[in-house]
C-alpha cells in the first residue's frame, strides 16, 4: 500500500506502520539533518485550505531529505478560484513534481485526487476525514514513550469531530492496545467510527469522566473541545471545564503517564503540566519531521 499513496490510516497494516516508524527512528538517531538522498526530487504542496504547521513540517522533511518543495499557493491566487476541478488541478501539478501533499476541505478529496495521478500522494487532511501522517507521528510518539503493545491509551475531548482521534483509534487496533474514550455525551465517537473499531476487533470503552480510567492509563491523548460545537457559551464552559487537566487532575495517574495533544491547545492542558516529564506534546509535534521524512523517503522509493 505504502508504495503507492497514503490516503487513510485505516489502510495501513501493522507492517506498513512499523516500516515508517522504524525508518523514522533511524532518521532520528542519525540526526535529522542531512539525509541528502533525494537531491533533485520535488514535492508539491497543494493546500486548498491553510494549515501552516503541517505544510512547514512537510517542507522541512523534504528539505532535510535533500529535495525541494514547490507550493501551489493560496486558493485565492490559483486556478481553483476560477472553478477548476480538483481532478484537473492535481493532473496539472503532478507534471511538476515527484510526489504531492494534499490538504483539502472536502472529505474523500485525497482518494479522488489519487485516482487521477501517478505520483505518490499524501493526504494531509481531507475535511473531517483522514490525516494519516498525523496518525503516524502520534504512533511514533507513543512507541518512543510507552511502546505500542500491552498498553492502555485514553483518548479524551472532542471525539465526534476530531479526525485525529478517529485515525489514531483505527491505527491502534493493529496493536495490542486497550483503548478508552472519554468525552461528553454530545461529543462521543460517531457511529461509523465505533462500527469500524468494532469490526477491527477493538472493544470500545466509553466514559464521560477521566477519573474512572486515569489510573489505568499509560498514555492520555487530549484534544480540544471547540466553542462552536455548542449552541450556548454557558454550556460550552461547563462541559469544557470538565475535560481540562492540570497537575492536580493528574495526581492519580501512573507516574510514567505520557500526555499527548495534537496542538494547538487552548486551555485544555494547564501550562504547569508542561514542566513535568509527562508532557510529550511538543516532542510529538517535532516528531512530525522524522516521520514525514521516513514517509516521503519510502514513497519516493528510497532504499528499503
Please confirm, yes or no, whether 53 is among the known catalytic residues.
Answer: yes
Give the whole-angstrom CA distance, residue 204 versus residue 173.
Answer: 11
Among 105, 215, 241, 301, which residue sits at the site for other proteins (rule: CB under 8 A)? 105
17: number of Cβ within 10 Å: 23
Give the whole-angstrom CA distance, residue 30 versus residue 143.
Answer: 18
Closer residue to other proteins, CB minimum distance, 171 or 300: 171
Beta carbon of residue 112, minimum distance to other proteins (angstroms, whole number): 5
Evaluate whether 296 touches 288 at the Cβ level (below 8 Å).
no
203 binding other proteins? (CB under 8 A): no
Give the whole-angstrom CA distance, residue 119 versus residue 200.
Answer: 30
Among 30, 195, 198, 238, which residue sits at the site for other proteins (rule: CB under 8 A)? 195
Please confirm, yes or no, whether 103 is among the known catalytic residues.
Answer: yes
Site residues (CB under 8 A) for other proteins, limited to 44-103: 83, 85-87
14 grid coordinates: 501493522
167 binding other proteins? (CB under 8 A): no
Is 81 exposed, middle or buried, given 0-12, 13-18 or 19+ CB atoms closer than 10 A?
exposed
Beta carbon of residue 185, minimum distance to other proteins (angstroms, whole number): 21
Beta carbon of residue 107, minimum distance to other proteins (angstroms, whole number): 4
Among 192, 228, 264, 304, which residue sits at the site for other proteins (rule: CB under 8 A)? 192
Beta carbon of residue 32, minimum distance to other proteins (angstroms, whole number): 34
Closer residue to other proteins, CB minimum distance, 105 or 241: 105
DSSP-assigned letter for residue 156: E
Query: Which is catalytic among the residues 54, 164, 223, 258?
Result: 54
What is the torsional sign of CA 180, 185, 189, 191? positive
Among 11, 63, 111, 265, which residue sits at the site for other proteins (rule: CB under 8 A)? 111
Residue 65 in 3-state DSSP?
Answer: coil
128 binding other proteins? (CB under 8 A): yes
* E strand or H helix at 236: helix 233-242
Closer residue to other proteins, CB minimum distance, 60 or 106: 106
What is the torsional sign of CA 17, 145, 159, 74? negative
Beta carbon of residue 87, minimum distance to other proteins (angstroms, whole number): 5
Query: Which is catalytic among the residues 5, 23, 64, 131?
Result: 131
Query: Which is catalytic among the residues 5, 23, 103, 163?
Result: 103
Evaluate whether 261 touches 138 at the Cβ level (below 8 Å).
no
Give the whole-angstrom CA distance, residue 171 versus residue 18.
Answer: 11
Evaluate whether 101 touches 125 at the Cβ level (below 8 Å).
no
In the block, which residue shows the cell 514547490? 70
Among 54, 109, 134, 145, which residue sits at the site for other proteins (rule: CB under 8 A)? 109
Number of residues that bind other proteins (CB under 8 A): 20
Active site residues: 53-54, 82, 103, 131
Q: Residue numbers of the site for other proteins (CB under 8 A)?
A: 83, 85-87, 104-109, 111-112, 115, 126-129, 191-192, 195
Amino acid at each position: 500500500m505504502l508504495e503507492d499513496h497514503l490516503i487513510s490510516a485505516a489502510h495501513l497494516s501493522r507492517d506498513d506502520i512499523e516500516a515508517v516508524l522504524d525508518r523514522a527512528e533511524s532518521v532520528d538517531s542519525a540526526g535529522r539533518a542531512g539525509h541528502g538522498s533525494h537531491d533533485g526530487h520535488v514535492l508539491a504542496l497543494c493546500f486548498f485550505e491553510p494549515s501552516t504547521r503541517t505544510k512547514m513540517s512537510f517542507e522541512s522533511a523534504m528539505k532535510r531529505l535533500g529535495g525541494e518543495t514547490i507550493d501551489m499557493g493560496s486558493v485565492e491566487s490559483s486556478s481553483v478560484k476560477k472553478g477548476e476541478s480538483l481532478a484537473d488541478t492535481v493532473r496539472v501539478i503532478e507534471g511538476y513534481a515527484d510526489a504531492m501533499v494534499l490538504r483539502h476541505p472536502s472529505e474523500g478529496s485525497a482518494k479522488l485526487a489519487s485516482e487521477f495521478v501517478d505520483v505518490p500522494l499524501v493526504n494531509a487532511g481531507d475535511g473531517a476525514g483522514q490525516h494519516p501522517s498525523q496518525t503516524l507521528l502520534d504512533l511514533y510518539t507513543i512507541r518512543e514513550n510507552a511502546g505500542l503493545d500491552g498498553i492502555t491509551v485514553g483518548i479524551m475531548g472532542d471525539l465526534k469531530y476530531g479526525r485525529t482521534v478517529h485515525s489514531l483509534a483505527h491505527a491502534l487496533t493493529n496493536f495490542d492496545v486497550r483503548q478508552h474514550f472519554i468525552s461528553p455525551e454530545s461529543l462521543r465517537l460517531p457511529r461509523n467510527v465505533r462500527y469500524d473499531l468494532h469490526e477491527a476487533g477493538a472493544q470500545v470503552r466509553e466514559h464521560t469522566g477521566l477519573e474512572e480510567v486515569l489510573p489505568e492509563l499509560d498514555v492520555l491523548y487530549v484534544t480540544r473541545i471547540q466553542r462552536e460545537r455548542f449552541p450556548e457559551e454557558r454550556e460550552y464552559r461547563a462541559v469544557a471545564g470538565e475535560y481540562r487537566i492540570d497537575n492536580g487532575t493528574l495526581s492519580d495517574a501512573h507516574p510514567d503517564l505520557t500526555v499527548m495533544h495534537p496542538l494547538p491547545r487552548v486551555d485544555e492542558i494547564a501550562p504547569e503540566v508542561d514542566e513535568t516529564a509527562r508532557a510529550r506534546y511538543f516532542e510529538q509535534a517535532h516528531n512530525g519531521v522524522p516521520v514525514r521524512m521516513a514517509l516521503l523517503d519510502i514513497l519516493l522509493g528510497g532504499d528499503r
